[in-house]
Amino acid sequence: GENVEQHPSTLSVQEGDSAVIKCTYSDSASNYFPWYKQELGKGPQLIIDIRSNVGEKKDQRIAVTLNKTAKHFSLHITETQPEDSAVYFCAASLYNTDKLIFGTGTRLQVFP
Amino acid sequence: NAGVTQTPKFQVLKTGQSMTLQCAQDMNHEYMSWYRQDPGMGLRLIHYSVGAGITDQGEVPNGYNVSRSTTEDFPLRLLSAAPSQTSVYFCASSSDRALNYGYTFGSGTRLTVV
């Protein structure tokens, strides 16, 4: 089955700097890769996703890149703000299957 | 529009007790699932359902039962609670079986088994 590894487990950045979180997946057939943000005491919330037919996707300060050959994908947050502080999860699934497998999470802290 | 509603928010059980975690969604989503979240282990899939009357096991199904009698509800049952089931439980739903549009998560149930 699919296995997703996520690094780093914690990340501290200064406000305004960029943050990068990386994930690798094991199943080369996986083709849907979402990212979720979890704030304290809340459930995870989808922030961006990418499919295997796309190499990069951007949404304002957030971008995701996918390298299918290397089986890894990354979340990039530019111009970080204190409200970006949260736990971020990557995930992977095979299109038209019913399982979404998550990474272990990255706690991002943005210091003013 | 309430989204995904989980009850209770907090629960303390004694070892061996049984209980049901409730999950309801009002978005007419076909796909629902249960995850548990433990420190350092991320979110692990327990059980999922692709529609009323259909359920299947995820990564960590042992000790949990589910049923899906309606589209709206997907309860998770612990038949005999164990300390290893201490965790935060999240229910999620999606409009698309292929998960094309991502999950909507509930706010979680924090369960402690003593």
Predicted confidence (pLDDT) per residue in A56-79, tens digit: 999 999 999 999 999 999 999 999
Report whether pLDDT(B96) > 80: no
| Chain B residues with CB within 8 Å of chain A CB | 4, 31, 33, 35, 40-45, 48, 50, 56, 58-59, 90, 92, 97-100, 102-103, 105-108
Report whether pLDDT(B1) > 70: no
One DSSP character per residue, B36-62 reads EEETTTEEEEEEEEEETTEEEE-S--T
Other CB atoms within 10 A of residue A17 CB:
13
Q: What mean pLDDT comes out for the span A43-63? A: 93
Report whether pLDDT(B2) > 90: no
Two tokens, residue B32: 């629902």
pLDDT band at B99 (very low <50, low <70, confident <90, very high): low
Partners of residue B38 in chain A, C-beta under 8 Å = none
| Chain A residues with CB within 8 Å of chain B CB | 1, 6, 9, 32, 34, 36, 41-46, 49, 89, 91, 93, 95-105
* Residues sharing a CB contact under 8 Å with residue A5, sequence separation 6 or more, in sequence order: A23, A24, A25, A103, A104
Q: Do A43 and B99 touch (CB under 8 A)?
A: no
Q: What mean pLDDT comes out for the span A82-96? A: 89
Q: Do B99 and A100 touch (CB under 8 A)?
A: yes
Distances in Å between the Cα of B29 and the Cα atoms of A84, B50, B51 are 29, 9, 8
Partners of residue B102 in chain A, C-beta under 8 Å = 34, 46, 49
Q: Report cis status (omega within 30 of 0) of the bond before B8.
A: yes
pLDDT tens sequence across B26-61:
999 999 999 999 988 889 999 999 999 999 999 899
Query: What is the reported pLDDT for A71?
Result: 95
Residue A43 amino acid letter: G
Q: Do B44 and A32 touch (CB under 8 A)?
A: no
Q: What mean pLDDT comes out for the span A74-93? A: 96
What's the CA gap between B20 and B76, in Å, rounded? 6
Query: What is the reported pLDDT for A95?
Result: 61
Partners of residue A100 in chain B, C-beta under 8 Å = 33, 45, 99, 103
What's the CA gap between B109 and B103, in Å, rounded? 17
What's the CA gap between B25 and B2, in Å, rounded? 7
pLDDT tens sequence across B11-28:
999 999 999 999 999 999
Partners of residue A1 in chain B, C-beta under 8 Å = 59
Which letter, b or e, does each residue of B25-62 get, where b requires 16 or more Cβ atoms within 10 Å of its Cβ? beeebbbbbbbbbeeeebbbbbbbbbebeebeebbbbe
Mean pLDDT of chain A: 93
